């Protein structure tokens, strides 16, 4: 393994969502379709992989994303890590990858976070992003599952996903590209889903947009997801989000937003098909995800029209949901849902 230089001095006030190498990572192997071997911490660095590896040739790989936070009670906590462990199992099964048991997944996360706890930003400055990956590293030539697999977890201190987190996003609704297809892999966190989004994202940013809103592939009548996040609209005190029909990722933050809206804000919540016209006519629109948190969408463009949402400002419910979610993570709001998992 070739070591990579470790960042010594971190400017906590200017963190962005990008890799800052840390002290260590966790790695475990599964060979010849046997049980997962006990993993270990190793210095963060490059890994050796065959050019014939299944993950490189046929995309047999999945990943997860979650965060660790410092709180107002001087604790370090994870946010709903059990959900990520379960989703990783579901994604692995979809790609014929031997699932990492939930207990092993959790132990790996805790080991890495504890060993790199000094890389967790101070309260309010960011978070420690945790990236578990499972790859088919065994060699293949024909299209078939690999015989060997690698489970790896690395971490990085990060700031906001979008450069100006206080500014509402301007998104483009596109029918030129589809993120996924019916009965495909859209509901799973597979690496190929995200590779397919790179060109639409590049073209959107070149045209001055922050991201893309994708339509359903079947008839292009309904919105599905933002590039790397779930989509919500609010109209007449009703919060609506596209239902999980198999082509939309069941986001952990998505579920958290729904529970906050129902149980704290007492909003009606609907999970159903959402038309383009409904999005353009909404009182508020926002996206949610581990990386983006809760981010307001203030402008939406289609091929035919342009619409300003909520006066181009963060809507009151969007703001309140984001504040409650951040407050729970920071322990300034009661964690009535028992979402926090203490590291120390």
User: Which residue among 172, 189, 202, 319 is the active-site one?
Assistant: 189
Catalytic residue flag (residue 189): yes
What residues pair up with 308 in beta bridges, in sequence order?
Answer: 299
Tell whether 67 and 193 lie within a shared domain: no
Spatial separation of the C-alpha atoms in residues 40 and 25, rounded to whole Å: 8
201 contacts 262 by C-beta, under 8 angstroms: no
- Mention every residue, 6+ apart, whose C-beta is less than 8 A from residue 25: 41, 42, 43, 44, 45, 112, 152, 153, 154, 155
Residue 7 has pLDDT above 80, yes or no: no
Residue 169 and residue 297 in contact, taking contact as beta carbons nearer than 8 Å: yes
- Among 123, 158, 193, residue at a domain's last position: 158
Is the pLDDT at 175 greater than 50? The verdict is yes
Give the model confidence (pLDDT) of 10-58 as tens digits: 999 999 999 999 999 999 999 987 899 999 999 999 999 999 999 999 9
Q: Is 88 inside a domain boundary?
A: yes
Q: For residue 178, is pLDDT > 80?
A: yes
- Percent pLDDT > 70 in the chain is 97
At 109, which CATH number? 3.30.470.10
For 65, phi and psi rounded to 5 degrees? -145, 125
How many domains, the chain? 2
- What does pLDDT average to over the chain? 95
Q: What pTM did the predictor assign?
A: 0.95
pLDDT at 114: 98
Question: What is the mean pLDDT of the segment spanning 283-298?
Answer: 97
Domain region containing 323: 169-330
């Amino acid at each position: 393994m070739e070591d990579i230089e470790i960042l010594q001095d971190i400017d906590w006030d200017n963190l962005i969502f990008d890799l800052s190498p840390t002290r260590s990572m966790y790695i475990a192997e599964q060979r010849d379709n046997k049980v997962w071997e006990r993993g270990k911490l190793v210095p963060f660095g490059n890994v050796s992989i065959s050019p014939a590896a299944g993950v490189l040739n046929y995309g047999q790989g999945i990943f997860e994303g979650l965060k660790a936070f410092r709180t107002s009670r001087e604790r370090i906590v994870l946010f709903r890590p059990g959900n990520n462990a379960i989703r990783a199992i579901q994604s692995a099964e979809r790609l014929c990858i031997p699932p990492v048991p939930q207990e092993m997944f959790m132990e790996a996360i805790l080991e890495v976070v504890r060993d790199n706890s000094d890389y967790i930003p101070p309260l309010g400055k960011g978070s420690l992003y945790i990236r578990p990956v499972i790859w088919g590293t065994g060699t293949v030539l024909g299209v078939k599952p690999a015989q060997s697999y690698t489970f790896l977890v690395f971490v990085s201190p990060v700031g906001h996903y979008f450069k100006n987190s206080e500014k509402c996003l301007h998104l483009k609704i596109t029918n030129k590209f589809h993120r996924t297809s019916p009965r495909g892999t859209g509901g799973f966190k597979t690496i190929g889903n995200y590779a397919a989004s790179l060109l639409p994202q590049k073209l959107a940013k070149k045209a001055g947009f922050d991201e893309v809103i994708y339509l359903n592939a079947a008839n292009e009548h309904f919105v599905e997801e933002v590039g790397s996040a779930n989509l919500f609209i609010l109209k007449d005190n009703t919060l609506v989000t596209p239902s999980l029909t198999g082509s939309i990722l069941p986001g952990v933050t998505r579920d958290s937003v729904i529970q906050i809206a129902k149980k704290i804000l007492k909003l009606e919540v609907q999970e159903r098909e959402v038309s383009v016209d409904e999005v353009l006519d909404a009182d508020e629109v926002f996206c949610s995800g581990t990386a983006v948190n809760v981010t307001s969408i203030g402008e939406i463009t289609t091929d035919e029209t342009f619409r300003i949402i909520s006066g181009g400002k963060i809507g009151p419910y969007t703001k309140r949901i984001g504040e409650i979610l951040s407050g729970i993570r920071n322990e300034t709001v009661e964690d009535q849902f028992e979402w926090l998992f203490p590291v120390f």
